[in-house]
Structure 1
Amino acid sequence: MKAEQLWVGALVVDTETQRVGKVMGREGPYVQLRPPGGGREWDANPDQLRPADEGEKLRAGILEVPLAYVEGIT
């Protein structure tokens, strides 16, 4: 993943662990990630990261879904 996409707060998927993480910073060659709901940080190789898609954000519990969509009122 390109460095300019790895801003603090970006939501990414660590393809090595298949976990969604929020970028917290960098430490040497690694990007520090934390689960969106909080928890222990882990170090990830930036080459193994990709942006989280809408479905992954939803499953991680950080994507707001319009109420009409949830209730089936479209």
Structure 2
Amino acid sequence: MTEDAGGVPAVGATVHDTARDRVGRVMGHVGPYVQLRPLAGGIEWDADPNHLRPLTLAEVLSALVAEANARSRQHR
């Protein structure tokens, strides 16, 4: 995960918000918070950068597959 000089994840990074137990993509920064959006899109949420950890490539792929599976079950 690319971080800025302050250790905040860069826009586009995929992270796990440990406070909410959710995976999201960094969309921006406002004040002390990082804005995250679910990988499949949706409503952004604010996260404390101290509760974010980078995902490994395997974790990113697993999260994307889980999102795709959830979408496929909704259209039945």
TM-score by length of 1: 0.72
| TM-score with structure 2 setting the length | 0.70
- How many residues in Structure 1 have an aligned counterpart in Structure 2? 61
Alignment pair present for 1:42 and 2:41: no
CA displacement at 1:53 relative to structure 2? 1.9
Structure 1 unaligned blocks of 5 or more: 63-74
Task: State the secondary structure of the residue aligned to 2:46.
Answer: strand
Deviation at 1:15, TM superposition (A): 0.5
For 2:43 and 2:62, how far apart are their aligned partners in 1?
19
Identity of aligned residues (%): 54
Alpha-carbon distance between aligned partners in 1 of 2:3 and 2:34, rounded to the nearest angstrom: 10
- RMSD in angstroms over aligned alpha carbons? 1.9
Structure 2: give runs of 5+ residues left out of the alignment.
66-76
Which residue, 43, 57, 60 being the options, matches 1:54? Answer: 57
- Structure with higher Rg: it is 1
Question: Could you tell me how far 1:11 is from its partner in structure 2?
Answer: 0.3
Q: Which residue of 1 aligns with 2:11?
A: 8
Runs of 4+ off more than 3 Å = none
Q: Tell me the distance in 2 between the aligned counterparts of 1:60 and 1:26.
A: 23
Q: Pick which of 33-42 and 4-13 moved more.
A: 4-13
Kindly provide the CA deviation profile for residues 10-68 of structure 1, in whole angstroms up to 9, marking residues without a partner as x: 00000101111100001111000000110100000000000012332122217xxxxxx
